[in-house]
Protein backbone atom coordinates (compact mmCIF):
# COMPACT_ATOMS: atom_id res chain seq x y z
CA UNK A 1 0.00 0.00 0.00
CA UNK A 2 0.99 3.65 -0.36
CA UNK A 3 1.28 3.75 3.43
CA UNK A 4 4.22 1.33 3.30
CA UNK A 5 6.42 3.40 0.96
CA UNK A 6 9.31 5.65 1.98
CA UNK A 7 6.82 8.54 2.13
CA UNK A 8 4.94 6.92 5.01
CA UNK A 9 5.62 9.78 7.41
CA UNK A 10 4.35 12.52 5.11
CA UNK A 11 1.66 11.09 2.84
CA UNK A 12 -1.79 12.51 3.43
CA UNK A 13 -1.11 15.03 6.20
CA UNK A 14 -1.45 18.38 4.41
CA UNK A 15 -1.98 21.30 6.76
CA UNK A 16 -2.66 23.63 3.82
CA UNK A 17 -5.93 21.81 3.03
CA UNK A 18 -8.73 23.35 5.13
CA UNK A 19 -11.21 21.22 7.05
CA UNK A 20 -14.20 20.11 4.97
CA UNK A 21 -12.49 21.11 1.76
CA UNK A 22 -14.08 24.39 0.77
CA UNK A 23 -15.48 27.44 2.48
CA UNK A 24 -18.95 27.47 0.97
CA UNK A 25 -20.19 24.14 2.25
CA UNK A 26 -23.65 24.44 3.79
CA UNK A 27 -23.28 24.97 7.52
CA UNK A 28 -25.91 22.34 8.22
CA UNK A 29 -28.20 19.92 6.50
CA UNK A 30 -31.47 18.64 7.83
CA UNK A 31 -30.86 14.93 7.56
CA UNK A 32 -28.68 12.50 5.64
CA UNK A 33 -31.64 10.48 4.43
CA UNK A 34 -31.56 9.71 0.75
CA UNK A 35 -34.90 8.17 -0.29
CA UNK A 36 -34.53 9.31 -3.90
CA UNK A 37 -31.40 7.24 -4.36
CA UNK A 38 -30.32 7.30 -8.00
CA UNK A 39 -32.88 10.02 -8.70
CA UNK A 40 -31.23 12.45 -6.27
CA UNK A 41 -30.79 15.88 -7.93
CA UNK A 42 -27.24 17.03 -8.57
CA UNK A 43 -27.64 19.97 -6.20
CA UNK A 44 -26.27 23.49 -6.39
CA UNK A 45 -22.72 22.78 -5.21
CA UNK A 46 -20.38 20.86 -7.47
CA UNK A 47 -18.47 18.31 -5.41
CA UNK A 48 -16.51 15.23 -6.35
CA UNK A 49 -18.99 12.60 -5.30
CA UNK A 50 -21.68 10.38 -6.72
CA UNK A 51 -25.26 11.64 -7.20
CA UNK A 52 -26.70 9.28 -4.62
CA UNK A 53 -24.54 10.95 -1.94
CA UNK A 54 -25.45 14.59 -2.50
CA UNK A 55 -27.05 14.59 0.92
CA UNK A 56 -23.62 14.53 2.59
CA UNK A 57 -22.24 17.89 1.50
CA UNK A 58 -22.60 19.56 4.90
CA UNK A 59 -19.17 18.45 6.15
CA UNK A 60 -18.12 18.04 9.80
CA UNK A 61 -18.71 21.16 11.94
CA UNK A 62 -16.69 19.89 14.90
CA UNK A 63 -13.32 20.29 13.17
CA UNK A 64 -14.09 23.49 11.23
CA UNK A 65 -11.36 25.46 13.05
CA UNK A 66 -8.71 22.72 13.18
CA UNK A 67 -5.49 22.46 11.22
CA UNK A 68 -5.00 19.30 9.20
CA UNK A 69 -1.76 18.41 10.97
CA UNK A 70 -0.74 15.25 12.84
CA UNK A 71 0.28 17.24 15.92
CA UNK A 72 -2.57 19.76 15.95
CA UNK A 73 -3.77 19.77 19.61
CA UNK A 74 -7.36 19.00 18.58
CA UNK A 75 -6.20 16.10 16.42
CA UNK A 76 -4.02 14.76 19.25
CA UNK A 77 -6.93 14.94 21.71
CA UNK A 78 -9.29 13.15 19.34
CA UNK A 79 -6.68 10.48 18.60
CA UNK A 80 -6.20 9.80 22.30
CA UNK A 81 -9.94 9.58 22.84
CA UNK A 82 -10.42 7.19 19.92
CA UNK A 83 -7.65 4.95 21.23
CA UNK A 84 -9.53 4.73 24.53
CA UNK A 85 -13.13 4.49 23.37
CA UNK A 86 -13.50 3.70 19.66
CA UNK A 87 -14.87 0.40 18.39
CA UNK A 88 -18.00 -1.72 18.74
CA UNK A 89 -17.82 -3.42 22.12
CA UNK A 90 -17.73 -7.19 21.82
CA UNK A 91 -17.40 -7.09 18.04
CA UNK A 92 -17.74 -10.65 16.77
CA UNK A 93 -15.54 -11.86 13.93
CA UNK A 94 -16.92 -14.99 12.31
CA UNK A 95 -15.16 -17.97 10.78
CA UNK A 96 -15.76 -18.65 7.06
CA UNK A 97 -16.82 -22.17 8.04
CA UNK A 98 -19.62 -20.96 10.34
CA UNK A 99 -21.94 -20.06 7.48
CA UNK A 100 -25.25 -19.96 9.33
CA UNK A 101 -23.94 -17.93 12.24
CA UNK A 102 -22.39 -15.39 9.88
CA UNK A 103 -25.68 -15.09 7.98
CA UNK A 104 -27.65 -14.77 11.22
CA UNK A 105 -25.41 -11.96 12.48
CA UNK A 106 -25.67 -10.20 9.12
CA UNK A 107 -29.47 -10.37 9.16
CA UNK A 108 -29.59 -9.16 12.76
CA UNK A 109 -27.08 -6.32 12.56
CA UNK A 110 -26.98 -5.37 8.90
CA UNK A 111 -23.30 -6.34 8.71
CA UNK A 112 -20.90 -9.11 9.67
CA UNK A 113 -17.11 -9.47 9.74
CA UNK A 114 -15.58 -12.71 8.42
CA UNK A 115 -11.95 -13.50 9.18
CA UNK A 116 -9.45 -14.97 6.69
CA UNK A 117 -11.62 -14.15 3.69
CA UNK A 118 -8.48 -13.68 1.60
CA UNK A 119 -5.42 -15.88 1.48
CA UNK A 120 -2.06 -14.14 1.93
CA UNK A 121 -1.46 -14.32 -1.84
CA UNK A 122 -4.90 -12.91 -2.66
CA UNK A 123 -4.43 -10.13 -0.14
CA UNK A 124 -1.04 -9.24 -1.62
CA UNK A 125 -2.48 -8.99 -5.13
CA UNK A 126 -5.38 -6.72 -4.21
CA UNK A 127 -3.08 -4.62 -1.98
CA UNK A 128 -0.78 -4.05 -4.97
CA UNK A 129 -3.70 -3.19 -7.27
CA UNK A 130 -5.15 -0.81 -4.67
CA UNK A 131 -1.80 0.91 -4.23
CA UNK A 132 -1.49 1.48 -7.97
CA UNK A 133 -4.95 3.04 -8.11
CA UNK A 134 -4.25 5.30 -5.12
CA UNK A 135 -0.96 6.43 -6.60
CA UNK A 136 -2.79 7.33 -9.84
CA UNK A 137 -5.27 9.46 -7.92
CA UNK A 138 -2.55 11.15 -5.87
CA UNK A 139 -0.48 11.91 -8.96
CA UNK A 140 -3.15 14.42 -9.94
CA UNK A 141 -3.98 15.46 -6.38
CA UNK A 142 -0.76 15.36 -4.32
CA UNK A 143 -2.26 17.27 -1.38
CA UNK A 144 -5.42 15.10 -1.37
CA UNK A 145 -7.58 18.21 -1.51
CA UNK A 146 -9.92 17.21 -4.35
CA UNK A 147 -12.06 14.85 -2.34
CA UNK A 148 -13.55 11.96 -4.23
CA UNK A 149 -15.38 9.97 -1.58
CA UNK A 150 -19.04 10.25 -0.64
CA UNK A 151 -19.72 13.83 0.36
CA UNK A 152 -16.66 15.17 -1.44
CA UNK A 153 -14.54 15.45 1.72
CA UNK A 154 -10.80 15.95 1.13
CA UNK A 155 -8.33 13.19 1.98
CA UNK A 156 -10.91 10.63 0.93
CA UNK A 157 -11.20 8.85 -2.41
CA UNK A 158 -13.49 6.35 -4.02
CA UNK A 159 -12.00 3.60 -6.19
CA UNK A 160 -15.18 3.41 -8.25
CA UNK A 161 -15.89 7.13 -8.22
CA UNK A 162 -12.29 7.88 -9.18
CA UNK A 163 -12.42 5.52 -12.16
CA UNK A 164 -13.76 6.96 -15.40
CA UNK A 165 -15.73 3.71 -15.83
CA UNK A 166 -17.29 4.12 -12.33
CA UNK A 167 -16.04 0.65 -11.37
CA UNK A 168 -12.82 -1.38 -11.00
CA UNK A 169 -13.86 -4.66 -12.62
CA UNK A 170 -11.38 -4.11 -15.44
CA UNK A 171 -8.73 -5.03 -12.84
CA UNK A 172 -7.91 -8.72 -12.43
CA UNK A 173 -7.30 -8.38 -8.69
CA UNK A 174 -10.82 -6.97 -8.16
CA UNK A 175 -12.38 -9.76 -10.23
CA UNK A 176 -10.60 -12.34 -8.08
CA UNK A 177 -12.77 -11.17 -5.16
CA UNK A 178 -16.05 -12.11 -6.83
CA UNK A 179 -16.19 -15.84 -6.10
CA UNK A 180 -14.21 -16.70 -2.98
CA UNK A 181 -14.62 -20.13 -1.43
CA UNK A 182 -14.60 -18.42 1.97
CA UNK A 183 -17.53 -16.12 1.17
CA UNK A 184 -19.68 -17.65 -1.58
CA UNK A 185 -21.43 -20.06 0.84
CA UNK A 186 -22.21 -17.16 3.19
CA UNK A 187 -23.56 -14.99 0.37
CA UNK A 188 -25.72 -17.88 -0.81
CA UNK A 189 -27.08 -18.37 2.71
CA UNK A 190 -27.85 -14.66 3.13
CA UNK A 191 -29.60 -14.33 -0.25
CA UNK A 192 -31.31 -17.71 0.11
CA UNK A 193 -30.05 -18.66 -3.36
CA UNK A 194 -26.90 -18.81 -5.47
CA UNK A 195 -28.66 -16.73 -8.14
CA UNK A 196 -27.50 -13.35 -6.86
CA UNK A 197 -25.59 -11.13 -9.31
CA UNK A 198 -22.58 -8.84 -9.24
CA UNK A 199 -23.48 -5.16 -9.57
CA UNK A 200 -19.97 -3.69 -9.65
CA UNK A 201 -16.79 -3.20 -7.70
CA UNK A 202 -15.00 -0.24 -6.20
CA UNK A 203 -14.38 0.72 -2.59
CA UNK A 204 -13.16 3.68 -0.57
CA UNK A 205 -9.95 5.19 0.77
CA UNK A 206 -9.30 7.29 3.87
CA UNK A 207 -5.94 8.99 3.62
CA UNK A 208 -3.94 9.96 6.70
CA UNK A 209 -5.14 13.39 7.72
CA UNK A 210 -8.81 12.73 6.97
CA UNK A 211 -9.80 14.55 10.16
CA UNK A 212 -13.52 14.81 9.36
CA UNK A 213 -16.29 12.38 10.19
CA UNK A 214 -18.42 11.55 7.19
CA UNK A 215 -22.12 11.82 7.94
CA UNK A 216 -24.10 8.66 8.51
CA UNK A 217 -25.96 7.63 5.39
CA UNK A 218 -27.57 4.76 3.54
CA UNK A 219 -26.39 3.78 0.04
CA UNK A 220 -29.73 3.75 -1.74
CA UNK A 221 -29.06 2.35 -5.21
CA UNK A 222 -32.70 2.68 -6.11
CA UNK A 223 -35.71 4.96 -5.98
CA UNK A 224 -38.15 4.24 -3.18
CA UNK A 225 -40.88 1.67 -3.81
CA UNK A 226 -43.91 3.24 -5.53
CA UNK A 227 -46.42 1.69 -3.14
CA UNK A 228 -49.70 3.59 -3.73
CA UNK A 229 -50.96 2.49 -0.31
CA UNK A 230 -47.87 3.61 1.59
CA UNK A 231 -47.63 0.31 3.46
CA UNK A 232 -44.10 -0.76 2.59
CA UNK A 233 -40.74 0.69 1.66
CA UNK A 234 -37.35 -0.83 0.88
CA UNK A 235 -36.56 -1.30 4.56
CA UNK A 236 -39.37 -3.85 4.92
CA UNK A 237 -37.75 -6.25 2.44
CA UNK A 238 -34.89 -8.74 2.66
CA UNK A 239 -31.48 -7.32 1.79
CA UNK A 240 -31.58 -6.00 -1.81
CA UNK A 241 -27.89 -5.06 -2.18
CA UNK A 242 -24.92 -6.33 -0.21
CA UNK A 243 -21.43 -4.86 -0.36
CA UNK A 244 -18.35 -6.80 0.72
CA UNK A 245 -15.44 -4.60 1.81
CA UNK A 246 -11.92 -5.98 2.14
CA UNK A 247 -9.62 -4.00 4.49
CA UNK A 248 -6.09 -3.73 3.09
CA UNK A 249 -4.63 -2.94 6.52
CA UNK A 250 -5.70 -3.86 10.03
CA UNK A 251 -8.61 -1.65 11.05
CA UNK A 252 -7.66 0.22 14.23
CA UNK A 253 -9.44 2.85 16.35
CA UNK A 254 -7.47 5.65 14.68
CA UNK A 255 -7.00 4.77 10.99
CA UNK A 256 -10.53 5.45 9.77
CA UNK A 257 -12.52 2.24 10.38
CA UNK A 258 -16.01 2.25 8.91
CA UNK A 259 -18.80 2.76 11.42
CA UNK A 260 -21.96 0.69 11.32
CA UNK A 261 -25.12 1.21 13.34
CA UNK A 262 -26.37 -2.30 14.24
CA UNK A 263 -29.92 -3.09 13.15
CA UNK A 264 -30.43 0.21 11.32
CA UNK A 265 -31.13 -1.49 7.99
CA UNK A 266 -34.72 -1.85 9.24
CA UNK A 267 -35.14 1.54 10.87
CA UNK A 268 -37.56 4.08 9.44
CA UNK A 269 -36.35 6.94 11.64
CA UNK A 270 -34.59 9.80 9.85
CA UNK A 271 -30.81 9.61 9.80
CA UNK A 272 -29.39 12.45 11.93
CA UNK A 273 -26.78 14.87 10.68
CA UNK A 274 -23.44 15.06 12.44
CA UNK A 275 -24.48 17.89 14.74
CA UNK A 276 -27.35 15.80 16.14
CA UNK A 277 -25.64 12.42 16.11
CA UNK A 278 -25.10 10.81 19.55
CA UNK A 279 -21.55 10.00 20.54
CA UNK A 280 -22.10 6.26 20.62
CA UNK A 281 -22.86 6.26 16.89
CA UNK A 282 -19.57 8.00 16.12
CA UNK A 283 -17.76 5.31 18.13
CA UNK A 284 -19.69 2.38 16.64
CA UNK A 285 -16.82 1.36 14.38
CA UNK A 286 -15.77 -1.98 12.95
CA UNK A 287 -12.46 -2.42 14.77
CA UNK A 288 -10.20 -4.02 15.59
CA UNK A 289 -10.35 -6.21 12.49
CA UNK A 290 -7.45 -7.73 10.55
CA UNK A 291 -6.37 -7.09 6.98
CA UNK A 292 -7.70 -9.82 4.72
CA UNK A 293 -11.01 -10.12 6.55
CA UNK A 294 -14.30 -9.23 4.84
CA UNK A 295 -16.97 -6.83 6.05
CA UNK A 296 -20.33 -7.82 4.55
CA UNK A 297 -22.78 -4.91 4.69
CA UNK A 298 -26.46 -4.42 3.93
CA UNK A 299 -26.15 -1.06 2.19
CA UNK A 300 -29.41 0.15 3.77
CA UNK A 301 -27.76 0.12 7.20
CA UNK A 302 -26.59 3.47 8.51
CA UNK A 303 -22.85 3.80 8.07
CA UNK A 304 -20.16 6.43 7.58
CA UNK A 305 -16.47 7.18 7.41
CA UNK A 306 -14.40 8.16 10.44
CA UNK A 307 -11.20 10.16 10.89
CA UNK A 308 -7.92 8.60 9.83
CA UNK A 309 -5.54 10.10 12.38
CA UNK A 310 -2.78 7.58 11.75
CA UNK A 311 0.12 7.58 9.30
CA UNK A 312 -1.20 4.75 7.12
CA UNK A 313 -3.59 4.68 4.20
CA UNK A 314 -6.84 2.87 5.01
CA UNK A 315 -8.25 1.35 1.83
CA UNK A 316 -11.17 -1.06 1.46
CA UNK A 317 -11.85 -2.39 -2.05
CA UNK A 318 -15.31 -3.86 -2.48
CA UNK A 319 -17.61 -5.99 -4.60
CA UNK A 320 -21.34 -5.24 -4.81
CA UNK A 321 -23.93 -8.03 -5.02
CA UNK A 322 -27.63 -7.75 -5.86
CA UNK A 323 -30.29 -10.13 -4.58
CA UNK A 324 -31.80 -12.58 -7.10
CA UNK A 325 -35.09 -10.67 -7.01
CA UNK A 326 -33.64 -7.15 -7.24
CA UNK A 327 -32.34 -5.09 -10.16
CA UNK A 328 -31.30 -1.45 -10.40
CA UNK A 329 -30.12 1.18 -12.85
CA UNK A 330 -27.01 1.16 -10.69
CA UNK A 331 -25.83 -2.01 -12.45
CA UNK A 332 -23.71 -1.14 -15.47
CA UNK A 333 -21.57 -3.09 -17.88
CA UNK A 334 -18.04 -2.50 -16.63
CA UNK A 335 -16.14 -5.80 -16.94
CA UNK A 336 -14.06 -6.64 -20.04
CA UNK A 337 -14.90 -9.97 -21.62
CA UNK A 338 -11.30 -11.15 -21.07
CA UNK A 339 -11.71 -10.68 -17.30
CA UNK A 340 -15.02 -12.55 -17.37
CA UNK A 341 -13.40 -15.52 -19.13
CA UNK A 342 -10.96 -15.88 -16.23
CA UNK A 343 -13.73 -16.32 -13.65
CA UNK A 344 -15.07 -19.57 -12.24
CA UNK A 345 -18.38 -20.84 -13.70
CA UNK A 346 -20.22 -19.40 -10.68
CA UNK A 347 -18.33 -16.12 -11.00
CA UNK A 348 -19.22 -15.93 -14.68
CA UNK A 349 -22.90 -16.48 -14.00
CA UNK A 350 -23.04 -13.89 -11.22
CA UNK A 351 -21.20 -11.38 -13.44
CA UNK A 352 -23.39 -11.79 -16.51
CA UNK A 353 -25.00 -8.35 -16.13
CA UNK A 354 -21.72 -6.41 -15.88
CA UNK A 355 -19.67 -8.10 -18.62
CA UNK A 356 -19.17 -6.43 -22.00
CA UNK A 357 -19.21 -8.23 -25.31
CA UNK A 358 -16.08 -9.89 -26.66
CA UNK A 359 -13.84 -7.24 -28.20
CA UNK A 360 -15.86 -4.37 -26.72
CA UNK A 361 -13.97 -1.72 -24.75
CA UNK A 362 -15.16 -0.61 -21.33
CA UNK A 363 -15.35 3.15 -21.75
CA UNK A 364 -13.24 4.84 -19.07
CA UNK A 365 -11.53 1.69 -17.81
CA UNK A 366 -7.96 2.20 -16.70
CA UNK A 367 -8.17 5.96 -16.21
CA UNK A 368 -8.17 7.26 -12.63
CA UNK A 369 -8.57 10.93 -11.72
CA UNK A 370 -10.06 12.69 -8.68
CA UNK A 371 -11.80 15.30 -10.84
CA UNK A 372 -15.06 14.43 -12.58
CA UNK A 373 -14.40 16.82 -15.47
CA UNK A 374 -11.16 15.04 -16.29
CA UNK A 375 -12.83 11.63 -16.19
CA UNK A 376 -15.55 12.91 -18.50
CA UNK A 377 -12.95 14.39 -20.86
CA UNK A 378 -11.19 11.03 -21.09
CA UNK A 379 -14.45 9.27 -21.94
CA UNK A 380 -15.35 11.90 -24.53
CA UNK A 381 -12.02 11.29 -26.23
CA UNK A 382 -12.83 7.58 -26.41
CA UNK A 383 -16.31 8.30 -27.74
CA UNK A 384 -14.85 10.61 -30.40
CA UNK A 385 -13.16 7.62 -31.99
CA UNK A 386 -16.49 5.80 -32.30
CA UNK A 387 -19.39 6.40 -34.66
CA UNK A 388 -22.46 8.13 -33.25
CA UNK A 389 -24.40 4.91 -33.71
CA UNK A 390 -21.84 3.00 -31.65
CA UNK A 391 -21.88 5.67 -28.94
CA UNK A 392 -25.68 5.67 -28.72
CA UNK A 393 -25.80 1.88 -28.57
CA UNK A 394 -23.14 1.77 -25.84
CA UNK A 395 -24.93 4.33 -23.68
CA UNK A 396 -28.28 2.62 -24.05
CA UNK A 397 -26.79 -0.65 -22.82
CA UNK A 398 -25.09 0.72 -19.69
* Per-residue model confidence (pLDDT) at position 357: 94
What domains can you pick out in the chain, each with its CATH number?
2-396 (2.60.120.620)
Query: What does DSSP say about strands 303-304 and 111-114: parallel, antiparallel, or unpaired?
Result: unpaired
* 243-249-253-255 Cα dihedral, nearest 10 degrees: -100
199 sits in which H/E element: strand 197-206
Residue among 217, 218, 191 nearest 107 (CA)? 191
* Per-residue model confidence (pLDDT) at position 300: 94
337 sits in which H/E element: helix 337-341
Does residue 77 surpass a pLDDT of 60? yes
- List the end-to-end C-alpha distance of the chain, in Å, as a whole number: 32
* Per-residue model confidence (pLDDT) at position 3: 43
Contact 201, 160 (CB under 8 A): yes
| Average pLDDT score over the chain | 91
The CB density around residue 44, as the number of other CB atoms within 10 Å, is: 9
Residue 108 CB-half CA count within 13 A: 9
Instruction: Identify the band that residue 396 occupies on the pLDDT scale cut at 50, 70 and 90.
Output: confident
pLDDT 10s digits, 78-134: 999 999 999 999 999 999 999 999 999 999 999 999 999 999 999 999 999 999 999
pLDDT 10s digits, 290-305: 999 999 999 999 999 9
From residue 38, give the alpha-carbon distance in Å to each of 41, 168, 267, 331.
9, 20, 20, 11
Residue among 252, 259, 165, 147 nearest 205 (CA)? 147
How far does CA 83 lie from the centroid of its chain? 24
Does residue 8 surpass a pLDDT of 50? no
Does residue 47 surpass a pLDDT of 70? no
pLDDT 10s digits, 253-274: 999 999 999 999 999 898 988 8
348 sits in which H/E element: helix 345-350
pTM: predicted TM-score of the whole model, two decimal places: 0.93
Of 320 and 29, the one with more pLDDT? 320
Q: Residue range 208-235: average pLDDT?
A: 89
The rounded distance, in Å, linking the Cα atoms of 294 and 301 is: 17
From residue 216, give the alpha-carbon distance in Å to each of 38, 86, 264, 279.
18, 16, 11, 12
pLDDT 10s digits, 141-167: 999 998 777 778 899 999 999 999 999
* Per-residue model confidence (pLDDT) at position 56: 78
Does residue 5 surpass a pLDDT of 50? no
- Residues, the chain, total? 398
The rounded distance, in Å, linking the Cα atoms of 272 and 371 is: 29
* Per-residue model confidence (pLDDT) at position 275: 84
Contact 105, 85 (CB under 8 A): no
b/e 95-117 (16+ beta carbons within 10 angstroms → b) = ebeebeebbebbbebbbbbbebb
243 sits in which H/E element: strand 241-245
Lowest-pLDDT range of 35-49, 126-140, 148-162, 228-242: 35-49
Q: Where are the alpha helices (DSSP H) in 42-98?
A: 73-85
Q: Where are the alpha helices (DSSP H) in 181-224?
A: 184-191
Does residue 249 surpass a pLDDT of 50? yes
* Per-residue model confidence (pLDDT) at position 212: 95
* Per-residue model confidence (pLDDT) at position 347: 98
Does residue 51 surpass a pLDDT of 70? no
Does residue 366 surpass a pLDDT of 90? yes
* Per-residue model confidence (pLDDT) at position 7: 42
Residue 242 CB-half CA count within 13 A: 28
Instruction: Identify the band that residue 222 occupies on the pLDDT scale cut at 50, 70 and 90.
Output: confident
Q: What percent of the chain lies above the pLDDT cut of 90?
A: 73
* Per-residue model confidence (pLDDT) at position 304: 94
pLDDT 10s digits, 370-388: 988 999 999 999 999 999 9
* Per-residue model confidence (pLDDT) at position 23: 63
Amino acid sequence: MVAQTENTKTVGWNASVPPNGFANRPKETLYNDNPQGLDTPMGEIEIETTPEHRNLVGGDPTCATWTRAYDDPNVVALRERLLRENGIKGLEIQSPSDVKRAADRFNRDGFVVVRDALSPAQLARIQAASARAIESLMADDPDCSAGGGAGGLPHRYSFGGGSASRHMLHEKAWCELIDLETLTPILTEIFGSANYVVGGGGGDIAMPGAIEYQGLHSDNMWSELPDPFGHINMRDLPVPVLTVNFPMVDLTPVNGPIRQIPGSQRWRAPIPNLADEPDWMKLSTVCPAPAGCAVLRDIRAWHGGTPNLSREVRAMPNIEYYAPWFRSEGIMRCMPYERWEELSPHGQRTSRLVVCDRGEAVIGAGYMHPRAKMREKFKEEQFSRMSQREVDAYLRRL
